[in-house]
Amino acid sequence: MKECRVCGDVKPVTEFSKRARSKDGLQADCKACCTAYLKEYSKRNRDKINERNRKRYAKNAEKERQRSAQWRKDNPERRKEITAKYRNANREKCNKAVQKWSKANRDKCNARDAKRRAVKLNATPPWLTQKHWKEIKKIYGLRSVCSLATQVDYHVDHIVPLAGTNVCGLHVPWNLQVITAKENKIKGNKY
């Protein structure tokens, strides 16, 4: 057991980080107090830390790129969480960046759209009747009516995605729904 220098609580030694220079080989502050201090320090010295990181990156650019790539590979869920949080906080900036990228990369956008159309064609079963096609057209018509009536952009969404990771749906009337564009973008390619 050891007493924390900051909070004064007596805690097990597992709650203290190692420090070779101290007599007992442990930090004087507990891990919780160290974490709180570092968070506060980061808030107060954001510019200083950013400048130090820029210099370190410039000096070791290739090594830093590899380190970042490895972190992204090892932490896919955390990366998605961070990206989503950033996009929600900077929606307009991200939309402008996507538009700029799309204009500069028309070939890539066209290839992506062509792939989606091909997937959709393969997901349309040959046994659909004229009645089914009329239902599909009605659903797309409903999307237009909803968009005009409410002045909110609506999309026709596949309930079970055509190119899902675990399951792939079909382009059939009972797999279509009309939802707002915002809801559709949030849903993404999930079931």
CA distance 13 to 28: 11
Per-residue pLDDT of the chain (191 residues; tens, 9 = 90+): 999 999 999 999 999 999 999 999 999 999 999 999 999 999 999 999 999 999 989 999 999 999 999 999 999 999 999 999 999 999 999 999 999 999 998 878 877 787 777 677 788 888 888 898 888 888 888 888 898 899 999 988 888 888 777 888 888 889 989 999 898 888 877 77
In this structure, the chain runs to a length of 191
Bridge-based pairing of strands 26-30 and 2-3 is: unpaired
* ∠ Cα 85 88 94 (to 5°): 110
Show the DSSP H helices in 3-59 as ranges.
Answer: 31-44, 46-59
Stated pTM of the model: 0.44
